[in-house]
Amino acid sequence: MAMTPEMETLKGKLKTVWVSGDYGHFATFLEAPAIELFLPRLRLAPGMSVLDVACGAGQIGIPAARAGAAVTGVDIAANSIAQARSRAAAEGLSARFEEGDAEDLRFDEASFDVVCSLFGAMFAPRPERVAAELVRVCRPGGRIVMGNWTPGGFIGQMFKINGKHVPPPPGMPSPVLWGDEATVQERLGDKVSGLTLTRRMYPFKYPFPPAQVVEFFREYYGPTNRAFASLDAEKQAALRADLERHWTDHNKATDSTAFVESEYLEVEAVRA
């Protein structure tokens, strides 16, 4: 797929972001809610073919394979793919995990019964291509299911804090526009026969306090890791203070742990 030099540079930077940190370890606390909240939306049956786009270390792909689905996962981060493959091998699952780009999926048209992405494909820089590819590889009558952070939710606002300290690269649309109903309708509406948009809440539970949560993100979550790495010590301290305040202000836990809920938009569509 042809790209301008500027887009090639941007995508290279984004790949560097997502191979930073350790997404498999970062997602340790996110997998249980994914299984409870998002996996049932896929309505899986044994033998059903599933494509997990921007699959990370298999937080949806692995449990979908456990349920008997024929799973393929793609992600731009080679280290996440290696983690997903290792997990599948350890459990004796036949799921396939490959390096791949949400904007240029290397599969034939109508290859999958279900195409899904949980907090993943929303970060690709050309959303119109993502929308077209998600639909293209889904079979007629098949389902496209996404979970996307909303602009006004806790994580959307955390991204806004990051952006105040480290502006996004030129040409990068806001990922959280995938969490805006009107935008999703525009991107998918004429490509699908049915579209259901539902706002839901996703829990973040950590066995340590907000300040340590921020450090956990800094060490293991690629975007936060790279944001801190791009700043000098004084500016890192300012970013840390804002993030710690954000987590503390929204923390519902009353002990030395952290519990925050973040709004996301659940997208369900049927390919015509």
Q: What would the pLDDT profile of 109-132 be if each residue is shown by its tens digit? A: 999 999 999 999 999 999 999 999
**What is the distance of C-alpha 132 from the center of its chain?**
18
Q: What is the pLDDT of residue 1?
A: 60
Domains and CATH numbers, the chain: 5-152+169-205+261-271 (3.40.50.150)
260, 154 Cβ separation under 8 angstroms: yes
DSSP 179-224: G-HHHHHHHHGGGEEEEEEEEEEEEEEESS-HHHHHHHHHHH-HHH
The string of pLDDT tens digits covering residues 223-233 is 999 999 999 99
Nearest to 143 by CA among 247, 9, 15, 266: 266
User: pTM here?
Assistant: 0.96
Work out the angle at residue 14's Cα, subtended by the Cα atoms of residues 50 and 160, and round it to the nearest 5 degrees.
100
Kind plus residue range of the DSSP H or E element containing 145? strand 138-149
CB atoms within 10 A of CB 127: 22
Q: Are 203 and 33 in contact (CB under 8 A)?
A: yes
pLDDT in tens, 4-51: 999 999 999 999 999 999 999 999 999 999 999 999 999 999 999 999
